[in-house]
Amino acid sequence: MKFIKYILAIIIIICIKSCAKVSTPMGGEKDEDPPILISMKPSNESINIKPTTIELEFNEYIKLENANKQIIVTPRINKDEMVATAIKNKVNIKLNQELEDSTTYVFNFQKSIQDITEGNPAENLKLVFSTGNEIDSLKFTGRVSYVFPQKDKFIKDVLIGLYEKNDTTDVLLAPPYYIAAADTAGRFEITNIKAGEYRAYAWHDSNNTLKAEDKSEAYAFFGDTITINDDINDVQFLLSKADLSDLRINRASTTGENYDVVLSKDPVSIQVDHKDFGNELFYRKNEKNLRFYHTSLRNDSIQIALNLRDSVGFKVDTLIYLKFEESDRRKEALETTTNTGTSFLKKIQAEFSFNKPIKEIKYDSLFVKYDSASIIPIEPKWVYLPDSSLFTKIKIDIPIPDSISNSTFQIFAADSTFFDIENMFNEKKIEANYKKLNPETLVTELLVTIDSEKRPLILELLDKSGKIYKTVYLTETNKHSFLNLEPATYQLRVIVDENKNRKWDPSNMRENRQAEQVWYYTNPDDPKSYDIPLKAGWTNEITVIPRTKRPVISEPIITDDENESATEIDVKEPVEEEETSM
């Protein structure tokens, strides 16, 4: 009997505790209503005040979500000193700092304040007040997009900022004076700006530092100071990455029998000046590492002139001593990659890349197989270096007679076909496959017109994955006809090659130089689509409309002093390549 009473007592205690516990009601319709603001201290658009705290009261219990990132304050304050808390239905913000005189402050809460049950954010919540006797009312609005479209179609974590003209910092050094966040469509609005002169920037702030990291984050800037005396609207920022860190030699030392030069960043141009270069002296590039080889020199050094340039135009011109020593260190094995799997119409265009410079090819073990018993010997005249100074890549153009009806071909290289400058050779056979196209299954023509007088232009046809399929360099015309394309969905972009180096160049904020312009073809019926679907037998005509940006930045006039009007290059880089036979 006592045991039963004891059990009943425990059940009664549990029931009492369960009844007293506060929980979200079960059942019923989902709460989709955002919290509604009941009161705000100070009140919106107050003047002549310097509050130390800000208090907001809502009609329901709320929570703060990532307040330090979501709450944007302009002009700039020290957000590390600001403390925001949510208790029941109130938000309390302690500023913990002195505000500037005669200044209009804007607190944009974005989605930081949400109801506690479903996380519905308070909508369009903003507080404006002035420490002076008037509210500044000027606006700076526009849109942000990327030079090269991102995989994610929605804009995320992009900020826009204004720095006062005399501010010695910029977007790479410190947060701006005025700041706003772009929405998912890229639209932005900075409000309540004081009349004056400013420098404008936009950037992708993935790490929430309120400034850009030039090595990892895309950004944009206007080179000219912007005078804001009236509202400025429809500004367009085009974001791209530009690494402004210094180009320098971090380390130079012997490695086995070779000599390594380790750089601070990946160079785009390398020039080596020495009488042995290309004969006994060679190099290979592996991102930031240059490894030099000498086929005969040991236990001695030579002096070379080394000229380097990075993507933003920074240069290193220096003399460097290379020392080559005897070593028992095991030599690196020769490795090979090919462009196997590509298609062709008249001739196979093969690419072979090596991890070290090669010096010799055994042509008796290099040929094309197209059935079990038939081969085409590869002739030395078909083999060349696309870059005469770099012996780590060769191209082989192999004409295929029309009399051969096969559709599949294989380049075969037996072991010991390729020898590098350290006398290492490929230890395994190499097989690269290529498919011959049927002209009857191809797209008849894609006629492209670029609505611009600028020259020269790099015209790139991309496959659906963004890989370059064909490249054309236009110097005297704004039109080109692509013939005999494989049926597929393509994209098309145009680069304005202002410095005529046949590649796209990023911006250089230190030199006040904008990135070279890039235009994509967009579907007139769907401006968000870059796709160009092409089917066999089709003839298509498309026009590329350049994108503009405002305020207008003066751009150099492009003049054409070249004779060539159009050269089609089936390569991955928009670079005219020098051919050197091997």
pLDDT at residue 424 greater than cutoff 70:
yes
Is it true that domain 336-437 has CATH number 2.60.40.1220? Answer: yes
Task: Let me know the angle formed at the C-alpha of 314 by 313 and 318, rounded to the nearest 5 degrees.
Answer: 130
pLDDT at residue 556 greater than cutoff 50:
no
SS3 at position 258: strand
pLDDT at position 582 is 52
Exposed / middle / buried, residue 268 (Cβ in 10 Å: 0-12, 13-18, 19+): middle
> pLDDT for 103-138, tens place per residue?
999 999 999 999 998 999 998 899 999 999 999 999
Distance CA 544, CA 520 (A): 7
pLDDT at position 93 is 96
Specify which residues 303 forms β-bridges with: 321
> pLDDT for 339-362, tens place per residue?
999 999 999 999 999 999 999 999
Is it true that domain 441-580 has CATH number 2.60.40? Answer: yes
pLDDT at residue 164 greater than cutoff 60:
yes
> pLDDT for 309-321, tens place per residue?
999 999 999 999 9
pLDDT at position 568 is 36
* Identity of the amino acid at 199: R
End-to-end CA, the chain: 104
pLDDT at position 9 is 52
Instruction: Specify the CATH number for 37-130; select among 3.30.390.50, 2.60.40.1220, 2.30.40.10, 3.30.1490.20.
Output: 2.60.40.1220
pLDDT at position 28 is 53
Which tokens go with 304? 């070379």
> pLDDT for 167-203, tens place per residue?
999 999 999 999 999 999 999 999 999 999 999 999 9
pLDDT at residue 498 greater than cutoff 90:
yes
Average pLDDT over residues 433-451: 95
Q: 139-228 is classed in which CATH architecture?
A: Sandwich (2.60)
Confidence band, pLDDT 50/70/90 cuts, at residue 569: very low
Average pLDDT over residues 242-253: 96
Instruction: Report yes or no: 334 and 418 within 8 Å, Cβ to Cβ.
Output: yes
Instruction: Kindly report, as residue ranges, where domains of CATH 2.60.40.1220 are found in the chain.
Output: 37-130, 249-324, 336-437
pLDDT at position 147 is 94
Confidence band, pLDDT 50/70/90 cuts, at residue 87: very high
In the 3-class helix/strand/coil scheme, how is 130-189 assigned residue by residue?
A: ECCCCCCCEEEEEEEEECCCCCCCCCCCEEEEEEECCCCCCCCCCCCCEEEECCCCCEEE
Average pLDDT, the chain: 89
Task: Let me know the angle formed at the C-alpha of 53 by 51 and 54, rounded to the nearest 5 degrees.
Answer: 95
pLDDT at position 372 is 82
pLDDT at position 523 is 87
pLDDT at residue 4 greater than cutoff 90:
no
CATH no. of 249-324: 2.60.40.1220
pLDDT at position 578 is 38
Q: Which residue has the higher pLDDT, 544 or 580?
A: 544
